[in-house]
Amino acid sequence: MIDILLAAMVSLVLSMIGTPIAMRLFARRGYGQNIREEGPSGHYDKRGTPTMGGTVIVIAALIGYAASHAGTFTPPTVSGMLVLFLMTGLGMVGFLDDFIKIYKQRSLGLRSGAKAAGQLVVGAIFAVLVVRFPNAYDITPAETRVSFLRDFGPSIGIVAFTVWVLIMIVGFSNAVNLTDGLDGLASGATGVVLGSYVLIGNWQLRNSCVNQLGPNCYWVRDPLDLAVVAAAVLGALVGFLWWNAPPAKIFMGDTGSLALGGVIAGLAVTTRTQLLLIILAGLCVIITMSVIIQVGFFKMTGRRVFRMAPLQHHFELAGWAETTIVVRFWLVAMLCAAAGLGLFWVEWVPKA
């Protein structure tokens, strides 16, 4: 537990102090947000707000994780390092996207093909490595099986597993990216998912098959360190949210949204809760589905289902205040996380 608290505290303090420093640095260099012309008119006032704040989240989380291990004199684990690699790699893809937007003064950065290629390369490396590195109990960070509350069914093979993990990584990194449309929305929505994984990792540690065999124990390689990773990123995110809350003084950009989507996908794979993430991150899934429905329905009929997609912009155009949308969507995110944690706990409870 000391590991978790130390990681969260260090990353929180670093992010809280580092974000205003980044704001001044980015503003001095002209690293301001460009706004889409077809977006809600109320967003035009946000033009020029410093962006790429996700760099602070990533750096603070990495330092918080390292400080936790240095402070407790414990070595990092393979599972934790792989998830942090995924976060950092996708954050670098997002950074390139943000930098091109700023350099060329447009709302579009990397071409969609180049952006997807970057996500696929980072994701493929993670998918291949995550089924290697068995520990003394022959447990690897993940197995080539699909998981919900734990692994189930037979192995699907390394090729199919790699494809499945890539779908998760690309899907959730883009889902968080789509959620990042209003001040503080993606930060709060992702924060509740990370908080859920702090609890899940801690629970899996207390009920690990390595410590005590039982009908409901968990074969997870490094549950404590995965909770430390989640806590480090959560602490960094809370510190950033202090400045990103409405009205935002800085945006996370694709640097932050892709990194956060990657870290929750990586945690889902390594805690063996892949399908559960769909519930835990339900708000991001709903927002992504709104885009799919809008595009698909428009292509088939030439008509729109929503005033604008993603979903948060539909409510903006319906006259809702931005803070109202953000707070209500945060509540939906909390309900989704609570539902996911409830399922996770109920499955563990011994049956009478």
175 and 287 Cβ atoms separated by less than 8 Å: yes
**Tell me, what amino acid is at 129?**
L
> What does the DSSP 8-state code read for residue 152?
E
67 and 10 Cβ atoms separated by less than 8 Å: yes
Distance between CA 160 and CA 169 in Å, rounded? 14
Question: Which residue positions in the chain have pLDDT lower than 50?
Answer: 352
**For residue 102, what pLDDT is reported?**
79
**For residue 28, what pLDDT is reported?**
79
**For residue 99, what pLDDT is reported?**
86
222 is in an annotated binding site: no
Q: Residue 93: left (phi > 0), alpha (psi -120 to 50), or beta?
A: alpha
Q: Which residue has the tokens 């109920």?
A: 346
Neighbours of 34 (CB within 10 A): 17
Can you spell out the DSSP letters for 110-176?
A: S-HHHHHHHHHHHHHHHHHHTT----TTS--S--SSEESSSEESS---HHHHHHHHHHHHHHHHHHH
The domain spans of the chain are 1-348
232 and 9 Cβ atoms separated by less than 8 Å: no
**For residue 291, what pLDDT is reported?**
95
Can you spell out the DSSP letters for 60-88?
A: HHHHHHHHHHHHHT----HHHHHHHHHHH
> What does the DSSP 8-state code read for residue 320?
-
**Phi, psi of 208, rounded to the nearest 5 degrees:** -75, 140
3 is in an annotated binding site: no
Q: Which residue has the tokens 């809008």?
A: 294
Write the CA distances from 209 to 198, 225, 310, integer angstroms.
19, 16, 42
Q: Which residue has the tokens 């993990």?
A: 165
**Tell me, what amino acid is at 148?**
F
**Phi, psi of 222, rounded to the nearest 5 degrees:** -135, 65
Query: What is the sign of the dihedral through the CA atoms of 93, 98, 103 and 109?
Result: positive
**For residue 25, what pLDDT is reported?**
86
164 and 147 Cβ atoms separated by less than 8 Å: no
Q: In this predicted model, what pLDDT tens digit does every residue of 114-123 receive, in sequence order?
A: 899 999 999 9
The closest of 18, 23, 91, 97 to 58, measured between CA atoms, is 91
Q: Collapsing DSSP states into helix, strand and coil, what is residue 191?
A: helix
Task: Output Rg (C-alpha) for the chain, integer angstroms.
Answer: 20
